[in-house]
Structures are given as structure tokens and as C-alpha cells.
């Protein structure tokens, strides 16, 4: 028999038992109800109209914690799809050296781990992540698909994203060209998500299909552009960011609306071209070592000379 808040009212045989016995029973009932109600902190998100899919791998762990915490602010169901490098051919791999840390997993509503792969570059795992997430995204009207090294600084602007998508099927953070659609950030109707996932996997698996398509389709961004074109989906054009890597923040519709940033891109650019790295709050010290300490020291002092030993020579 279930317990509800009505069971907090003393009635029936409990009117006749000692007060101490009732208080113990009441405490048990409140504990059980509290455990059920605590699930609302995350479970009610399954009834909302947007599902978030973050795609990542062990190489993205320096940025994953900040990304998950950032997108959690949107208040939607959050799925983390993670590339699997646990290849049994390499017995020396330590499971804990490749998987997301515990505090990241605490903020994830669904975790997807694909079968390990021998090779396939970026396209193969990304396309599998879309395909396997289709079963989750069927719960939602919209799917927000984002690299797990990106963040949002203005989550309150997200309703404007949905408004801009309107009757369209898909919107990219950029670029959005005939032969290339950027995959750093994608907002799609779930109906378009399913079609795109099916189209991309059908032209990748088995290998014979990859052979037929690879010269014409190109990389992941090219395959996405072909899928949108061949499926007749409506691509909503918006002002793109600086480029597909978004390595200079502050431009484009996605940045202006939700403060969308690609922290990994900013980090790489700053190291190579002697620029200012992203704020340490978006980086995970556990996977960066002394590099993190140098970046943190710069942001505390705002003295570029601190970065001189970090910048690429």
C-alpha cells in the first residue's frame, strides 16, 4: 500500500496507541513521502517539451563538468551520451581513467554509453549517439543537441531560441551552409531529430554504405547537411558565431540569445595564439593539472605575463 500526505493525519487505530509510537510511525511515513517527492527535482522534466543531449568523450573531461552544470540551468531533461574507449584489446586501460567523474554523473538524468569502436574518427561515435538517443528524445517536442565542451551563460534567453525555430525543423549555431552544417549546437524538432539520426546511420552502417557515401557526404557536418537537404527539412538561418569552432566568444545569434560558448575552442585558440583562456570556473582542474593553476592565477591577477609560460612557443 502506498503512502500519501493524507497518512500524516492520525486516525483509526493510531488514535488509541501511545503518542511516542505514533510519532515514530509518522516519522517513517514522512520519510517515505519525502523520498518520493524528492524525485520531482528531476523527474518532472520528463514532462517538459525539450530534451537536452550532450555529446562527449574522455577527451572532453576538462570541459564536461562546466558544460553539464551550465545546461542543467535550463531546467530540462539532460542526457549525456559518451563515447566508449574501453576496448578489450587494450587490457591496460583503467575504467576510471576514461569515464565521467561522480559529481558530473550526479547532474545527468540519462547516461548513454555506446559500444566501443576500433576507429571512426568523430563522425562514427556522433552518429551512433544521435541514433541511440532517439529513444529518449521521443519524449520531447524539441531536442537541443550540444557538444559537451560548450556552456550557456544566459539560460533565461532559451525561450527566444524556440521562438526563432518557429515552424522550422533545425537551427545550428553555425555555420549553416549547403554542404556543411555546424554541429557544436543544434536545436531541432524531435521529428527532425529522428529522421536525421536514421539518415546518418543508414549511410554509415554497414561499411559498404560508408564507402558509397564518404566521398560525396564528407565529414560529420557534411553528412548533416546532406541529411537536411535530402529529407527536405527546413533549416532556420541565424547569424553564426565567429566560425564553426566559436573560438572567439561574443558573436552570433546563439551567443546573443543564450550566451553560447565553446570552451574547448576558446581554450585551444588561447594556447596557440597567445590569447586569454576561458574562465577557470568552466574548466576541471582534475584533468588539467598545472595548466589549470596557471589559468586560474591569470584570472585572479589579470596579468598576461602569467600566461607566457603557458602559451605555445
Would you give per-residue pLDDT tens digits along the chain (313 residues)? Answer: 688 898 888 988 888 898 899 999 999 999 999 999 999 999 999 999 999 999 999 889 999 999 999 999 999 999 999 988 777 777 777 778 889 999 999 999 999 998 888 776 778 889 999 999 999 999 999 999 999 999 999 999 999 999 999 999 999 998 888 889 999 999 999 999 999 999 999 999 999 998 898 888 888 999 999 999 999 999 999 988 877 778 888 889 999 999 999 999 999 999 999 999 999 999 999 999 899 999 999 999 999 999 998 998 7
How far, in Å, CA of 291 to CA of 306, rounded? 11
Angle separating helix axes 220-231 and 190-202, nearest 10 degrees = 120
pLDDT at 15: 87
Which set of grid coordinates corresponds to residue 177? 551552409
pLDDT reported for residue 272: 93
| Inter-residue contact 281 to 296 (CB < 8 Å) | no
Model pLDDT, residue 1: 65
Pairwise CA distance, residues 285 & 45, whole Å: 30
Give the pLDDT score at 247. Answer: 84
Q: How many residues does the chain have?
A: 313
Predicted local confidence at residue 173, as pLDDT: 92
How far apart CA 129 and CA 100 sit, in angstroms, is: 16
Query: What DSSP state is assigned to residue 230?
Result: H
Query: CB 50: neighbour CB atoms within 10 A?
Result: 20
State the pLDDT at residue 242: 76
- For 235, the 3-state DSSP assignment is strand
Task: Give pairs for 190-194: CB < 8 Å, separation 24+.
Answer: 190/51, 190/137, 190/138, 190/140, 190/141, 190/142, 190/143, 192/231, 192/233, 193/130, 193/134, 193/137, 193/143, 193/145, 194/134, 194/137, 194/138
Amino acid at each position: 500500500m502506498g503512502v500519501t500526505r493524507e497518512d500524516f493525519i492520525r486516525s483509526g487505530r493510531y488514535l488509541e496507541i501511545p503518542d511516542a509510537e505514533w510519532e515514530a510511525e509518522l516519522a517513517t511515513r514522512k520519510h517515505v513521502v519525502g523520498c518520493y517527492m524528492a524525485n520531482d527535482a528531476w523527474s518532472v522534466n520528463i514532462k517538459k517539451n525539450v530534451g537536452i543531449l550532450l555529446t562527449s568523450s574522455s577527451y572532453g573531461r576538462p570541459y564536461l563538468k562546466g558544460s553539464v552544470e551550465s545546461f542543467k540551468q535550463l531546467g530540462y531533461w539532460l542526457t549525456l551520451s559518451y563515447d566508449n574507449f574501453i576496448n578489450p584489446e587494450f587490457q591496460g586501460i583503467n575504467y576510471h581513467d576514461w569515464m565521467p567523474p561522480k559529481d558530473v554523473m550526479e547532474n545527468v538524468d540519462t547516461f548513454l554509453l555506446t559500444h566501443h569502436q576500433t576507429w571512426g574518427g568523430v563522425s562514427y561515435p556522433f552518429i551512433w549517439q544521435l541514433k541511440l538517443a532517439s529513444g529518449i528524445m521521443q519524449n520531447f517536442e524539441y531536442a537541443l543537441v550540444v557538444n559537451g565542451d560548450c556552456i550557456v551563460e544566459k539560460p533565461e534567453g532559451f525561450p527566444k531560441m524556440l521562438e526563432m525555430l518557429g515552424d522550422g525543423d533545425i537551427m545550428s549555431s553555425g555555420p549553416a551552409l549547403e554542404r556543411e552544417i555546424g554541429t557544436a549546437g543544434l536545436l531541432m524538432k524531435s521529428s527532425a531529430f529522428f529522421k536525421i539520426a536514421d539518415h546518418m546511420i543508414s549511410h554509415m552502417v554497414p561499411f559498404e554504405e560508408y564507402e558509397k557515401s564518404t566521398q560525396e557526404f564528407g565529414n560529420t557536418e557534411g553528412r548533416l547537411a546532406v541529411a537536411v537537404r535530402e529529407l527536405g527539412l527546413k533549416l532556420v538561418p541565424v547569424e553564426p558565431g565567429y566560425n564553426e569552432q566559436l573560438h572567439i566568444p561574443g558573436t552570433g545569434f546563439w551567443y546573443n540569445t543564450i550566451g553560447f560558448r565553446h570552451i574547448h575552442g576558446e581554450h585551444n585558440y588561447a594556447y596557440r595564439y597567445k590569447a586569454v583562456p576561458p574562465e577557470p570556473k568552466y574548466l576541471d582542474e582534475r584533468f588539467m593539472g598545472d595548466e589549470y593553476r596557471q589559468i586560474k592565477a591569470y584570472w585572479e591577477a589579470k596579468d598576461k605575463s602569467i600566461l607566457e609560460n603557458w602559451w605555445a612557443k
